[in-house]
């Protein structure tokens, strides 16, 4: 099973390491054609406006929408979560508009307000370690979105079918269980097509 990490910006190598630790083959994705050989895709953190611009420039917006349209799982972390969202607070335009949620950028403040915490995530037995860096928040979700975890009553992890989103950076810790959760989603999606 091959899972890609969109390599336009962000902690690509760290996501690849976490996916491999979770038992998947992982590759950096720099070209649209690479999507054809993948079963799942991670959209990492970075700066959402920049990622969105680069995705448009290199033809990834329509290609990733089509990829998701085939039922192939997507996992967005931090800025990647913003890229997946239907709506971004205070912004006219969203990027992929795949996940039925409204998000707020930099909801936890600036870089110096970054922090780490242990989070309970539905579907994972023990709390996972989460690193929040200029993190976005999920302000509201549609009825088909399952809230997997909250921090101080705010939504920070959510799933809608084959789409997974986290406000934080699971790849910046040695805890790869959220990546393993995503790998399981990819396996389920591939099995349902077989």
* CA 19/CA 33 separation, integer angstroms: 21
**Catalytic: which of 95, 162, 171, 179?**
171
Assess whether 169 carries a catalytic annotation: yes
Assess whether 162 carries a catalytic annotation: no
* CA 154/CA 26 separation, integer angstroms: 31
Pairing between β-strand 2-6 and β-strand 25-29 as defined by DSSP bridges:
parallel
The DSSP bridge partners found for residue 77 are 166
**Catalytic: which of 15, 95, 162, 169?**
169
* Upper half-sphere CA count for residue 160 (Cβ side, 13 Å): 19
The DSSP bridge partners found for residue 88 are 103
Assess whether 14 carries a catalytic annotation: no
**Catalytic: which of 78, 86, 162, 179?**
78
Active site residues: 78, 169, 171
């Amino acid at each position: 099973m091959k899972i890609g990490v969109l390599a336009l910006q962000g902690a690509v190598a760290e996501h690849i390491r976490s996916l491999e630790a979770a038992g998947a083959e992982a590759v950096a994705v720099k070209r649209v054609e690479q999507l054809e050989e993948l079963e799942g895709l991670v959209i990492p953190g970075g700066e959402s406006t920049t990622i969105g611009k680069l995705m448009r420039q290199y033809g990834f917006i329509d290609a990733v929408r089509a990829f998701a349209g085939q039922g192939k799982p997507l996992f967005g972390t931090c800025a990647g979560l913003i890229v997946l969202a239907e709506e971004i607070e205070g912004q006219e335009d969203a990027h992929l508009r795949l996940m039925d949620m409204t998000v707020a950028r930099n909801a936890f403040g600036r870089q110096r307000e970054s922090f780490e915490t242990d989070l309970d995530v539905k579907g994972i037995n023990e709390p996972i370690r989460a690193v929040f860096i200029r993190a976005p928040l999920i302000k509201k979700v549609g009825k088909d979105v399952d809230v997997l975890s909250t921090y101080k009553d705010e939504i920070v992890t959510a799933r809608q079918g084959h789409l997974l989103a986290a406000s934080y950076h699971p790849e910046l810790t040695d805890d790869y269980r959220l990546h393993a959760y995503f790998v399981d989603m990819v396996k389920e999606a591939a099995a349902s097509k077989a």
